[in-house]
Structure 1
Amino acid sequence: MRRILIVGSAGAGKSTLAREVARRLDLPLIHLARHYWRPGWVASDDAGFRAEISALAARPAWVMDGNYGATLDLRLPRADLLVLCDPPRLRCLARVLRRRWVDRATTRPDLPDGCPERLDLPFLRYVWRYPRHSRPRVLAAVASVAPDLPVVRLRTRADLRRWLASLPTT
C-alpha cells in the first residue's frame, strides 16, 4: 500500500486517521482541504484544483484525506486502498461541534492559514445528510471508476483500532 485515500463525513476523523496512517507507514500526507481553500475560506477554481489534484494523485506514494467528489475520478484509479470513515452521523455532528469550540481561535493543521474553524447551517446539513447523499456517491464512484479498489469501512472505534493494528510498521 503506497497510496491510501481516506474519505468520510466531516467529523468522521479523516484527518486524524490520515496523520496516524502516514506516520505509521512513513508516507507523505496530503490534506485536500489545504489545497482547495484559500485564506478567508475562498474556494479554488475548479480547473486549477483538478489540475493540482491530478498532479498530487500522480505521486508515487501518499495518504490523502478529503472528499471533494468532483475529483474522485482522478484519485480513485491511483489509490491502492480506499478507507471510508463512516461513524454514526450523531458522532460526526458532536465532533464537529466540539472541534468548533476547541479550535475556535486557531487554524487546524489540515486547513490552510487564514481558514479558522467555522460552523454554519449548510455545513451541519452536509454532515447530517452525508450518509444518504454523499456516501452513496462515493461508493458509486468506486464501482464505476475503480471497481477492483479495496475498500475498508470503519464504522466504530473498534473497527478503527483493529484496522490500525493490522497495518505493517515501518
Structure 2
Amino acid sequence: MIIGNGGAGKSTFARKLGKALAKKVYHLDALYWKPGWETTEKDEWKVLLTEIMAKDSWIMDGNYGSTIEMRASAADTIIFLDYSTARCLYGIFKRRIMYHGKSRPDMNEGCEEKLDWTFIKWVAKYKRKKAPGIIAFLDEMKTSGKKVYHFTNPRNTEHFINETLIKGGS
C-alpha cells in the first residue's frame, strides 16, 4: 500500500515496484473516478477494494482516507512517500503540463488532467495537516506487525527499489 501527498509520485513508484516484484498494481484514482470525473458510490467503492484485497498479492497507490484503515489491515507493507511540500507542488504542476488535455496513465479514461485551487491548497497543507496523523497511524501499524517504510525524499525511494528489491531480492 503506497500513500503520500499529491504530486509525490505514488503512481510512478507503484509502477516501478510492481515491475520489480512482478505484482499487479491498482491505481485508486483510476478505480474511484469514472469518466467525466464522476465518483464511485461508497458501497461500490468498498466492495471493489475488498475484492482486490482478497487477491493473493497486490500493490495499491492512493490515499482515500475513508478506506485507509481497511487497506492497511489487509496490506503486509505500507509505504509512505512523505516528501517536501515544494517537491509535491512541483509534481502536481509538472503533471498538469505533461497531461494537458488528456488522462494520465494512472487515471480513468475521460478524466482529463486538471488542477484547481482546492487541490493546490490541499497539497500545500498536507505536510502540516495530514502527515502527522499518518505518521501516528503508521506507528500503530508497526506494532501490529506491518512492514512500514517512511521515505522523505525520492533518493531513498529509488534506493529502496534498486538496492533492496532488485539486488537484495527482498
Q: Which amino acid aligns with 1:166?
A: T
Q: What is the CA distance between 1:135 and its match in structure 2? A: 2.0
Task: Please tell me whether residue 135 in structure 1 is matched to residue 93 in structure 2.
Answer: no
User: Counterparts of 2:71 and 2:137 in 1: how far apart (Å)?
Assistant: 11
Q: What is the CA distance between 1:158 and its match in structure 2? A: 2.1
Q: What is the CA distance between 1:111 and its match in structure 2? A: 0.4
Task: Please tell me whether residue 78 in structure 1 is matched to residue 74 in structure 2.
Answer: yes
User: Counterparts of 1:60 and 1:48 in 2: how far apart (Å)?
Assistant: 21
How large is the RMSD of aligned CA atoms in angstroms? Answer: 1.7
Gapped regions of structure 2 (runs ≥ 5): none
User: Counterparts of 1:149 and 1:76 in 2: how far apart (Å)?
Assistant: 8
User: Counterparts of 1:103 and 1:111 in 2: how far apart (Å)?
Assistant: 11
SS in 2 for 1:112: coil
- Residue matched to 1:17: 13
User: Counterparts of 1:158 and 1:140 in 2: how far apart (Å)?
Assistant: 24
- Residue matched to 1:167: 165
Query: In the TM superposition, what whole-angstrom CA distance separates every residue of 1:64-94 from its partner, at most 9, and x where no partner exists?
Result: 1000011012111111111111110111001
User: Counterparts of 1:92 and 1:63 in 2: how far apart (Å)?
Assistant: 21
Q: Contact (CA 8 Å) 2:14, 2:59: kept in 1 or not?
A: yes
SS in 2 for 1:126: helix
Q: Contact (CA 8 Å) 2:23, 2:57: kept in 1 or not?
A: yes
- Residue matched to 2:45: 49
Q: Assess, with a 3 A threshold, how the Cα gap between structure 1 residues 137 and 54 changes in structure 2: closer, same or farther.
A: farther
- Residue matched to 1:155: 152
Q: Which amino acid aligns with 1:18?
A: A
- Aligned residue pairs total 166
Q: What is the CA distance between 1:138 and its match in structure 2? A: 2.6
Q: Which amino acid aligns with 1:52?
A: L
- Residue matched to 1:61: 57
Q: What is the CA distance between 1:146 and its match in structure 2? A: 6.5
Q: Which amino acid aligns with 1:17?
A: F
Identity of aligned residues (%): 31
- Residue matched to 1:97: 93
- Residue matched to 1:32: 28
User: Counterparts of 1:99 and 1:130 in 2: how far apart (Å)?
Assistant: 18
SS in 2 for 1:30: strand
